[in-house]
Chains A and B, each alone.
Chain A
Amino acid sequence: MTGLRLISALLLAGATSANAAPFYVVVNEANSISSLSYGELSDLFLKKSSSWADGSLVEPVDQRESSPVREIFTRNVHRKSEAAVRAFWQLRIFSGRDIPPPEKGSDAEVIAYVRNNPNAIGYVSADISTAGVKVVAVHP
């Protein structure tokens, strides 16, 4: 199973090599943000930074741990292993500090969540349609 995930991740990374990042970061079309660095993205998804420029609450949405795109996102953006991110959230949860973003089971569910939530931000595989949401440029 782990091997299958790894192969999927490699295929996904290869298929999207023409993009700046091997995934799309998406926000609601009403959001004025146009680009984010990996560091800023990491802070948003780890809830170290919780507000958009207009003061509204950022609502990140994550992919399930079994998702290949999450593995790529975690490695590229957080520069951590899945285990390290999980430990980070355990520490946050059981010290009563925060809870992780909700998780969605597919790219389509992430797109739907972002389309319906003005403050949401998510990431999806770079080979799917992003109609109805806005793709944000990301850079290391």
Chain B
Amino acid sequence: MKRSAIALFSLLAAMLVFAVVGSLPVLAADEVVVLVMSGPEAETLRHVAARYEKDTSRSVKIMELGRQVQRNLLTQNLMAKSSDIDLGYTSTMEVPAFQAAGVVEPLEAYMGDPKMTDPSFNQKDFLVWYKIKGKSYALPFYVSTHYLFYRKDLIKTPAQTWDEFFKVARDFTRNHNAKSPTTYGTAFTGLIGVEPTKVFASLAFTYDGDIIDEDGTVLLDSPNSIKAAQLFERMRDEKLVTPEILSQGFSEVQAALLNGQAAMGAPYWSAAWGMLNEQQREKIGIAEIPGVKMADGSIRRHAFVQSMALVMNAASTRKQAAWQFLSYLGGKTGAEINADDGGLPPLKSIVLDPKRQAKNHEYALAAKVLQTARTVQATTIYTAIQESFNSAFANLMTGKTDAKGALTEAAKAVRAAQKR
């Protein structure tokens, strides 16, 4: 009996330990919880949170997770109306779907209240700001746009137009020039998933094409968009681009540039610049993405721009505290910490500051690029657009179809998604 009593007692004790010790509250009642994707932005948010806690004695908990886990959990928490998180990191491209589901909080009511808002927060100072139906649902804190990256130790002047770009790319492709120090002329982030649509947007905008307009008209198969997609076709046919393009993400393009596989990376993310060390920056240069020469001699370019942003959970029970941290992040101190970390905060007072520009020459370029940069029209079917375009892009780059055929199919799929 003694043995069985001990065993039963152990079982109950173990369950009790799980139930009691394992369930102790892990957060202070007013602690703001921010769900962040690991990476440089998470690092910056940690630094800002540490300073915020020091300055205000309020608590912020940064919960950092890997790319896919964070995306899934953010969606899950928001859609389940869970109050376990207060703020979530996302791209501004994802916000419309959350807004349509009514799971993110509009920020206007908080922004208008000086008692809740950091005194240095000034919405007019933002270079980019995103609204859906006249309301703000996300605070952009990290701008991400496309540049042309090039091996400045090999290429003296970066290409200004796509025609020049092709000429340079051919010169640096070993198939066309046996003496080329690099294997391929160019690389870009063609990784199937979230990348191809954004890369295409930079090309399409430049050719006066688009993906979808504000009325919801699908423009993927418009003549100008097709003209833009023909650039991909040319890269494919002339074998100017790295062959593993469909699996080439951010880090692979960076590696290709650094290890001599590619002479240029375009369109390629601005964030890559912040990740290069001084030694690497001596080898790699950045410039505006190439454009199209106009009749008056000017060059039309519109790089795609998105922002990494924080959204406020509509089910949060600490909204006021969450906004206090948000406004601090979007205010002077938050943006300065962000800039000191090598990030690109969306504030004019930082990006246009001559001292900052002298310290980080990316800021002068960013200021120029952001003047004409554009984003894809906010839409709740962005995921469907991405899926359709991914398939079109894969077919195009693997030679199964031409630019026109690929975009016609993609547009058809997007229109079907709209009807659903």
Chain B binds chain A: no
